[in-house]
Structure 1
Amino acid sequence: MDALETFVGDIRKVFGTRLHAIVVYEAVAPAVSDKANDHIQTLTLVDAVKFEDLAACAARSASWERIGLATPLIMGGDEFRRSLDTFPLEYGNIIATHRVIAGSDPFKDLTVRAEDLRHASETLAKSHLLHLREAYIECEGQPATIARMMVASVAPFKALLLTLAQLRGRPTRDGAVLVREAASIGLDESTVRRVLNLREASQLSSTETIGFFASYLDTVERLARHVDGWQTEEVKS
């Protein structure tokens, strides 16, 4: 029995006839640790979640982790639908990448409102910009520290580009396509590609780090302005 079969069996034991559906989905962006990134993401939709259900799942949590499952999202079906406007990026990603492994497809009639998606994208872009500025100040001008900070920022930057593609109505997880999407709105293609390819601080020499960070920051500033000026009609097209 594979991991997902085990998980479905466990969830059926916990929720019985209250189970609506179980889906697997792709994470929005690579997790910080490789271990977490390898784990399978799942969402379970049920009638309602009781404390006893959480206790039963908690007792199985360690075994799920051992077989490669991330901690599952568990919620009521109505709760998911009513929260689409609150988490348009996260839930929109689940809808876009999901595969049903138990029950019927819970998302066949669900869509994320364009303006909710635009607003969340703007929040994400401006938040990343502010964090980069703050982090640079905290690095005290030390190239090695700046390089490590940039490496740590790659995952949220990729999440931002994934969001951009989703906002433009062309969702993709392909890095080369993300670079082209960024270039199509005027972002520096070489900077975007190089940031996405950062894996270790040693990839940046001390003499180039500060200049490259300045280009990276300018790219994020341009992206934030672009999303800020986006009209809802553009999102729908």
Structure 2
Amino acid sequence: MQSLWTTFPPQLVLAGSTLYVSQGSIYGLDTRTGKVRRQYAVSGSAALAFARGTLYLNVNRHPDSSVQAVRAHDSWALWSYQVAGPLAHAPTLARDGVYVSTTEGVLYALQARNGRLLWQQAVGGTSAAQWPTVAALIGRVLCVGAKSGPDSILSAYQPADGALLWSSHLSGTWFSLPIGAAGRVYISDNNGEVSAFRLRDGQLLWQTAVAAEVQSTAYLSMRPSSIVLLPASSPEP
């Protein structure tokens, strides 16, 4: 019998000696024993990130979605911000900002301390952009890959005010989390293409086909050779 749906594994976030698991509720597990230290109920599906004692949650619940901040040690709700449309992936965190994107192609920047809206921007400068990847902060640039009409784009923003710095075309429709180092940003797509762009202006530096289908995220080696590691697989026969 063919399965009609797939159950995805829970998201894991490690914070010191506590492992946070998002599966219906948010569970904080003791990394040594596996026992549940704390639990936070969530009304909807949640993707999470952790920084400086706070859990930041992207919570999707039809018909609305919200970004929430929860104090980790006692599950105290610090703030909540409602957005229009489903949220994509987990929040991206910087020192003073929380960055989230919706599947409808809107990028939001919120103040980490109180959830106040700092700015919002259509991904790629167009309302046609959809299904963006989670934004990645690379150096002082916020990078987002998204589908925009018949094309796909990698866009870069100024984190402070959301100003669009540049946009470059991509070949795929689904993307890895952008990663970067040494003035470059790397991204892979579902067509098996790995692309490298210059971070300051978005110029394409190279593009390499590694597989017929990419099913995971690219990783950057910290060795001097700066090798980009890409889990990939070909389609099943």
Please give the TM-score of this superposition, normalised by the length of structure 2: 0.29
Higher helix share: 1
TM-score by length of 1: 0.29
**Larger Rg, first or second structure (1 or 2):** 1
Q: Greater strand percent: which structure?
A: 2
